[in-house]
Structure 1
Amino acid sequence: MLDKKTLSRLLMSAAIVVASAGSAAAAETLRFSHTDNPGGSRQAAAELFAEKVAEYTDGRYEVQIFPSGQLANDPKAIELLQLGGIDFTVSATGSYATHLPTLNLTAMPFLVDTYEQGWELYDNSDWLQGEFDKLPEKGFRVLSTWEAGFRSFTTNEPLASPEDAQSMKMRVFPNDMIRWSMEAIGFQTVVMPITDVYLSIQQGIVNGQENPVDTINSLRFYEVAPNITLTRHVYSPLPLTIAEKTWQSFSDEDKEAVRKAAAESAAFSRNLVKSSVDSQLSQMTEDGAKVSVPEIGPFREAVQPVYAKAKDVYGEEAVNNILSDAAAIRDALPAQN
């Protein structure tokens, strides 16, 4: 017979083992892939998101982050979402257009002029929310929208006007709208994943690329293409998405926890990117970049055919819906001069 003291110790040990096993089983790992560098804003927002998911699910889930395209470039990451190979990714809206082509319309040039207008478009446009609602049937869904900013150019030769573009090859990601805009401006376009861009500029395969300042800084494109031309031609935020398979595996409680973490990380991302642009440009200038703001009129004029082309491909109704939403937002939230 065991004495009471020994029995008590055994029961306590068993309880600890059971509790530890339960805790280990509860901490399910979720994989988050993105293409930003570890020091970039996406990584900072991903770390906050991971922290909040753990907090709000009481440790039932642990988000493991894979930056720098370790697992996949942007298009492949979205395919992995659909297959359930990863659980989260964050990428430009146009990256998702391969699976829902109408999302290309968010990359029409000069839709909005300020961050606040862009946030309103992504949070409250009836048309865009309706498009996002179609994504679960494609295998993933939007949780929130993180920030990247407005797309501008980095080139290895000065770019003061569309005339300068005619002698240049411009890298684009696989997105028809961006490609049409670049070709309308006068560039020859070369499609390639963002993970190949730095070396391709260095080797002279392309003359430059276009991305938001935050991405230009994070991926150090200004080192090989030091002419930064602030056209701000497309507002390019980053929808945070989750695999639909993963989403459906959550309890209602955990869905709400992940939504809350996504909303908080989006607010963090927006504030971080918007508030960092000036200091990033200053730092890149100190490192040898040449920053310029061209006369925007000729660029706006050059891309006018893109709107008509969009109507031909995606239908007049869809194009008019997003243009109407964007115009109403610009009127309601005018840019401050």
Structure 2
Amino acid sequence: MRFSLTFRVRFSALLVAVAALSLNNAARADVPIVIKFSHVVASDTPKGKAAERFKELAERATKGRVKVEIYPNSQLYKDKDELEALQLGAVQMLAPSLAKFSPLGIREFEVFDLPYIFPTKEVLYRITEGPVGKELLDRLQTKGITGLAFWDNGFKVMSANRPLKVPADFRNQKMRIQPSKVLEAQMRALGAIPQVLDFSEVYQALQSGVVDGTENPPSNFYTQKMYELQPHLTVSNHGYLGYVVIVNRKFWEGLPGSIRVELEGAMREATQYANAIAQNENDRAMEAIRKSGKTVVHQLSDKEREQWRTALAPVHREMEARIGRDLIAAVNREAAREAARDGTKDAARKPAALMGR
């Protein structure tokens, strides 16, 4: 007899709940507390490496009282299932992409999907590490989730079966996206046809022609071997991909206080590591893609990039009601402050929402 995923997850959650009743006693009895950390990308991506670093730091800090089990590459759950699994307690920790929270009713996280909203990583980190980032994490509490940290994976490139140098090149191209209304609007603004697919299904979809192209940071494009199937890649840096490390709230709050403090320290160190390696990992991946000889890498000229920005600027205005005008304005203020500090007045550094106004 086959059972549905929901049944299996709920049954697993019941077992976890029963086990949680003796969690404090287990800690005192030197029986390790197990944290199942599930994610959907390869172990050698920035997220995969950061997860392994957290495991190392957490087990060392707790002197073996906590055991972290890492399940990469959708071994346990795919994109569409992992958040439900966490809420039900079948896994304790995830690091989903920022686009994944809208189905839970928290649309504000889609601000990270807006094209060209972050001119630099410095602006990004002032958002994720400042009051805006804290407020976003706090919103997860009502969903039975505790947000611990933001992990970086860099800016995205576009890939397809043909060169994508100007918006007209996207016409009628079927482009894989994550489940995000912002990303849907982005692709439609470029003239493409958005196709929502789980990350684990992208390679096969590219291989079979279900989709013509996709967007990813170079590290994902390389580690998932998409370069074997996509003859063209454009260094557009049009959007951002990052993650939120989250835990099941009941599990987290049920931990002994001393262990929770040690895990918070391990997470801070792992986050510093994750954000430090992201750019280097993407640079290395891009070099490997070039060396493969299977994908032509296109660099946008200033004129071409300006066409992209002009085509995508209306997405910001379209999404104000969905994401929140004040939140978008807060990000744009940070971008404007950096531009003022650096003395940069060129259009390439202006917040995208201001383009075309």
Which range, TM-score by smaller chain?
A: 0.7 to 0.9
Residue 201 of structure 1 contacts residue 207 of structure 1 at CA under 8 Å; is this kept in 2?
Answer: yes
- Give the SS at the match of 2:237: strand
Match of 1:289 among 272, 275, 295: 295
Matching residue of 2:276: 271
Shift of residue 150, structure 1, vs aligned partner: 0.4
Matching residue of 1:147: 152
Aligned: 1:324 with 2:344: no
Residue 112 of structure 1 contacts residue 330 of structure 1 at CA under 8 Å; is this kept in 2?
Answer: no
Residue 102 of structure 2 contacts residue 180 of structure 2 at CA under 8 Å; is this kept in 1?
Answer: yes
Gaps of 5+ in 1: 1-20
Distance in 2 (alpha carbons) for counterparts of 1:334 and 1:211: 31
Aligned: 1:305 with 2:310: no
Matching residue of 2:201: 196
Length-normalised TM-score, structure 1: 0.88
Aligned: 1:33 with 2:42: no
Distance in 1 (alpha carbons) for counterparts of 2:86 and 2:309: 36
- Alignment map for 1:207-246 (pairs within 5 Å): 207-246=212-251
Distance in 1 (alpha carbons) for counterparts of 2:137 and 2:264: 15
Aligned: 1:173 with 2:182: no
Residue 94 of structure 1 contacts residue 104 of structure 1 at CA under 8 Å; is this kept in 2?
Answer: yes
Residue 145 of structure 1 contacts residue 237 of structure 1 at CA under 8 Å; is this kept in 2?
Answer: yes
Of the structure 1 ranges 47-56 and 32-41, higher mean CA displacement relative to structure 2 is found in: 32-41
Residue 149 of structure 1 contacts residue 236 of structure 1 at CA under 8 Å; is this kept in 2?
Answer: yes
- Give the SS at the match of 1:236: strand
Length-normalised TM-score, structure 2: 0.83
Aligned: 1:115 with 2:112: no
Structure 1: which amino acid aligns with 2:56?
A: E
Matching residue of 1:104: 110
Shift of residue 153, structure 1, vs aligned partner: 0.8
Aligned residues: CA RMSD? 2.2
Matching residue of 2:91: 86
Of the structure 1 ranges 160-169 and 35-44, higher mean CA displacement relative to structure 2 is found in: 35-44
Structure 1 pair 333/256, CA: closer, same or farther in 2 (3 Å)?
A: farther
Distance in 1 (alpha carbons) for counterparts of 2:162 and 2:305: 18
Of the structure 1 ranges 269-278 and 187-196, higher mean CA displacement relative to structure 2 is found in: 269-278
Structure 2: which amino acid aligns with 1:105?
A: V
Residue 40 of structure 2 contacts residue 73 of structure 2 at CA under 8 Å; is this kept in 1?
Answer: yes
Shift of residue 52, structure 1, vs aligned partner: 0.9
Structure 1 pair 61/331, CA: closer, same or farther in 2 (3 Å)?
A: farther
Q: Which has the larger radius of gyration?
A: 1
Residue 49 of structure 1 contacts residue 265 of structure 1 at CA under 8 Å; is this kept in 2?
Answer: yes
Distance in 2 (alpha carbons) for counterparts of 1:129 and 1:262: 15
- Give the SS at the match of 2:48: helix
Structure 2: which amino acid aligns with 1:153?
A: M
Shift of residue 114, structure 1, vs aligned partner: 2.4
Structure 1: which amino acid aligns with 2:127?
A: L
Aligned residues: 316
CA deviations on 1:192-237 (whole Å, 9 max, x unpaired) are 1111111101111110110111111121211111311111111221
Residue 120 of structure 1 contacts residue 329 of structure 1 at CA under 8 Å; is this kept in 2?
Answer: no
Structure 2: which amino acid aligns with 1:108?
A: L
Distance in 2 (alpha carbons) for counterparts of 1:113 and 1:249: 40
